[in-house]
Chain A
Amino acid sequence: MHPIVKLVAQRLALGLLLLFAASILIFAGTSILPGDVAQQILGQAATPEALENLRRELGLNEPAVTRYFSWLGGILQGDLGTALTNGRDIAESLSSRLSNTLFLAFWAAVIAVPLAIFLGLLAVRYKDRWPDKIISGVTLTTISIPEFMIGYVLIYWVSIKWGMFSSVAIINDSMTLGQKLNAIAIPVMVLTLVVLAHMMRMTRAAILNVMQSAYIETAELKGLGMLKIIRKHAFPNAIAPIVNVVMLNLAYLVVGVVVVEVVFAYPGMGQYLVDHVSKRDVPVVQACGLIFAAVYIGLNLIADIVSILANPRLRHPK
């Protein structure tokens, strides 16, 4: 077997193992939280009788281990179960939330990733001259402002003052693509601004790092143009850290946008998960956690493989 295939297979197996470990961690985490789902459902209106009745109905009196394994059994058969709080089928609610989250992440990534790499290259090309400084300054500013703040400021100007895009990003299946894009325009702007700087700076730093290598010096002595050197020699060798930071940010776009979802009332997974964490609705938290973990592990797998492919030394281990 080719060593790369073997490596990939290894990583995949590890990924699955990791998922399993994550599910235990999340379960244990939610189980040690004070309060339980019955208490949370009834809120301030809880009476001891109502609590006891609800607990019995939801099967909360069973030991934690039993509950965990019955859940795991369901998952292996493709059944995510039903939410304890409102009795809905989790797979159904989750799939629409997940597709919303991916929709938003996709558009933010489509804009942010190429833009970040382009700006990074541009900054290297014009290093220490005004384009570099302006790019650095602007991206630094956007990354330095809390994301809810960027959100509110954009809502105020773009939506209220100029009346351009919707301030509420609620989307649903009956909307056309155009309507959906109109609804998510401001959140996409916010997310782009938030993730841009990190990726752009890492691109810049990684390429600059490579630029100090002897072979770049050689290429320069050969009289190659700056752009060509970056494209042919520096960029391919800087791919590993760039891909790493891009994957980190993609993962962030999927799993870390709770605040943006709150500000724009966007029906994504983050808000869904937070709601259910606070209600101690363990099956939903488990399902969400599993999906987040899968997204994260999958993206990292890609980053790892790309790093391996990009580095000749790793590609051909001695």
Chain B
Amino acid sequence: MNDQLKHLSERVTKGLMTRREFVGRAAALGVTAAVANSMLATAAKAEGPVKGGTIKIGASGGESTNTQDPALTASEVPLYNLRHWGETLVDVGADGSLEMRMAESVEGTADAKKWVFKIRKGIPFSNGKDMTPDDVLMTMQRHSNEDSQSGALGIMRGIENMAVDGDNFVVELSTGNADLPYLMADYHLMIQPGGGMDNPGAGIGTGPYTIEFDEPGVRHGFKRRDDYWDSENRGHAEFSEQLVLNDATARTAALQSGQVHMINRVDPKVAGLLDRAPNLTVKSVAGRGHYVFIMHVDTAPFDNNELRLALKYAINREEMVDKILRGYGSIGNDMPINGSYPLFDDTIPQREFSLEKAAEHYKKSGHDGSPIILRTADGAFPGAVDAAALFQQSAQAAGIPLEIKREPNDGYWSEVWNVQPFCASYWGGRPVQDQMYSTAYLSTADWNDTRFKVPEFDEMLLAARAEIDEAKRKDIYSKMGRMLRDEGGLILPMFNDFVGAIGNNVGGYYDDPNGPLMNNKAPIKCWLTDA
């Protein structure tokens, strides 16, 4: 029986048979689906990467205004581009561990105030020059100096001094931060020759591919580099092409008709249906991204914690996960941290949906009954308008006069989010708790989109940051989570899974909770089994 199974699984890896057929046959041989699937994974690994071919991804999140400048990258398509030609000092692995890329090793002092990155030698940029610690330094400077337009400027702010010391790149901080190496995995921080000061959008880096053609909003093409340093693990296909397909239906149609090998952002509503189509598999992975409704705690009527609690109790989290995410996600607890984070305290009680409690808190709040306006847009998160409609229904049942106002996608992030006191939004999550909290819940954070400014919370955050003892740190994070849950302006009904889909001729796929499609690395880490 085993030989037969092995033979079958090899056929699948070679693309001669679909996974579903395999699981079906395996079941006929008395093997459960779970075992059969894990056998497949083993077979795929044993088969090893296949080199060559043109791997194609159909991705949403691209516009004709996109550039290759890492500092200005904010959406998914340009991010896939960056992964093709660039690399960061370190990566965060699928298991949350640090993976060394341009740095060979990293070491911090006991107070976590000084960090030393040893830079690899002999790694060529695609312009032929070798990467040096000076390039690293200049890159970091470009993202942190006064003229910077970088999206990474916020995370670079705690850095007091940066320097090159021989083969090392040294970072000094004003206050200790045990998580600093994780910050260096930020995708904006692609190492560029000369820091990319002269021509930030040139697309020259140490990644496995070089740009062949670059038509923003339409398609991007890449060719494999022969002199890539890590060709065992990345850059298997000879060519890689990215088609910008912003329309969800067009994207799934392209995968179904075989014009692309993988797509991002599959609408959860159709994920189950899409999975039934032959020759492709829907891949979902639980992550740290979350869909939220945010209230400004300093603006009436949301400055009243009773009203905030009323709204928090009035949201039906299970229904949201069920209807908006179709099960591709998990319920949230009004704090931005879940089990995907290290040092998460799973003893914090889950807030349950309760119309009585909602009504009770609403009564206590003494709200005058004027409509509470929730702003939303299709672009706030997938299904945001529907989610708001569900929220309105359950809130009305609790007697809360919630009203929805749909805003245009156009201008939503500049005119509504972080401006209006109550709106729908999303967060992509961060690799560690510290980064998540300091990005959006520290008093001084630029993106404090709930206006949550509590000195006690800030102190705890700083204390946790410099705390080396993990148990103590976990304890502090737990207190912070509870505080945010009970007093914050965040209504977090659900954590969303990253849902994508790949053709069955794609090999080397694994789940990575850090981001969609293997943290945007699927095109450079996967291969075509039939190439």
Asked if A and B are interacting partners, one says yes
Q: List, in ascending order, chain B residues with CB within 8 A of A50's CB.
A: 148-151, 153
Per-position 1/0 for A169-202, Cβ under 8 A of B: 0101000000000000000000000000000000
Q: Which of A109-117, A118-126, A269-277, A308-316 contacts B (4 or more CB under 8 A)?
A: A269-277
Residues of the A chain whose Cβ atoms lie less than 8 Å from the Cβ of B409: 278
**Contact flags B404-448 to A (C-beta < 8 A → 1, else 0):** 000001110111010000000000000000000000000000110
Q: Is the CB of B219 within 8 A of A83?
A: no
Whose C-beta in chain A lies nearest to the C-beta of B415? Answer: A34
Q: Name the one of B74, B149, B253, B411 contacting A53, with C-beta atoms under 8 angstroms.
A: B149
Is A87 in the interface zone, CB < 8 Å from B?
yes
Query: Which A residue sits closest to B154, measured CB to CB?
Result: A47
User: Are A159 and B257 in contact, CB atoms less than 8 angstroms apart?
Assistant: yes
For B243, what are the chain A residues with a Cβ–Cβ distance below 8 Å? 168, 170, 265
Within 8 A of A (CB), among B240-256: 243-247, 249-250, 253-254, 256
**Which of the candidate stretches A35-43, A230-238, A290-298 sits at the interface with the other chain?**
A35-43
A21-46 vs B, Cβ < 8 Å mask (1 yes, 0 no):
00000000000011100011111111
Other-chain contact of A168, B151, B201, B245, B446 (Cβ < 8 Å): B245
- With A45-B151, A48-B446, A170-B218 known to touch, is A86 a contact of B250 (CB < 8 Å)? no
Could you say which of B151, B247, B411 contacts A42, with CB atoms under 8 Å apart? B151
Given A57-B149, A155-B249, A167-B254, the answer on whether A281 and B65 have CB atoms closer than 8 Å is yes
| Chain A residues within 8 Å of chain B by Cβ, number | 50
A64 to B293, CA, bound (A): 36
A93 at interface (Cβ–Cβ under 8 A)?
A: yes
Cα distance A54–B148 in the bound complex, in angstroms: 8
Decide: B218 and A267 in contact? CB cutoff 8 A: yes
Point out the residue from A35, A42, A267 that lies within 8 Å of B215, measured CB to CB. Answer: A267
Check: A166 CB closer than 8 A to any chain B CB. Answer: yes
A74 within 8 A of B: no
Name the A residues within 8 Å of B205 (CB-CB).
none
Cβ contacts under 8 Å, B147 to chain A: 53, 57
Confirm or deny: A156 has a beta carbon within 8 angstroms of a beta carbon on chain B: yes
B39 to chain A, nearest CB (A): 31
Q: Is the CB of B72 within 8 A of A41?
A: yes
Q: A35-B415, A44-B413, A271-B217 are in contact. Are A265 and B72 (CB under 8 A)?
A: no
- What is the minimal beta-carbon distance from A188 to any residue of chain B, in angstroms? 16
Check A166–B259 contact: CB distance below 8 A: yes
Contact status B250-A264, CB under 8 Å: yes
B410 touches A267 (CB 8 A): no
Q: Is the CB of A40 within 8 A of B154?
A: no
* Interface mask (A63-94 → B, CB under 8 Å = 1, otherwise 0): 00000000000000000000101111000010
The residue of chain A having its C-beta at the shortest distance from the C-beta of B219 within the complex is A170
- A279 sits at the interface (CB 8 A): yes
Partner of A93, one of B64, B154, B260: B64
Q: Are B245 and A265 in contact (CB under 8 A)?
A: yes
CA distance A138 to B247 in the complex (A): 28
B70: shortest Cβ distance to chain A, in Å? 12
Query: Can you report 20 residue pairs joining A to B where beta carbons are below 8 Å apart?
Result: A39-B414, A41-B74, A43-B75, A44-B447, A47-B154, A47-B446, A53-B147, A53-B148, A57-B147, A86-B65, A93-B216, A155-B250, A156-B253, A166-B257, A167-B259, A168-B243, A262-B247, A267-B219, A277-B410, A278-B409
Which A residues form the contact surface with B (CB < 8 A)?
Answer: 33-35, 39-50, 53-54, 57, 83, 85-88, 93, 96-97, 152, 155-156, 159-160, 163, 166-168, 170, 172, 262-265, 267, 271-272, 275-279, 281
4 tightest A-B CB contacts, nearest first: A45-B151, A35-B414, A85-B65, A86-B67
Name B residues whose Cβ lies closer than 8 Å to a Cβ of A. Answer: 58, 63-67, 69, 72, 74-75, 146-151, 153-154, 201, 213, 215-219, 243-247, 249-250, 253-254, 256-257, 259-260, 409-411, 413-415, 417, 446-447
Besides A47-B154, A86-B201, A277-B410, 8 new A-B residue pairs in contact (Cβ under 8 A), listed by A number: A39-B413, A50-B148, A50-B153, A93-B64, A168-B250, A265-B245, A271-B217, A278-B409
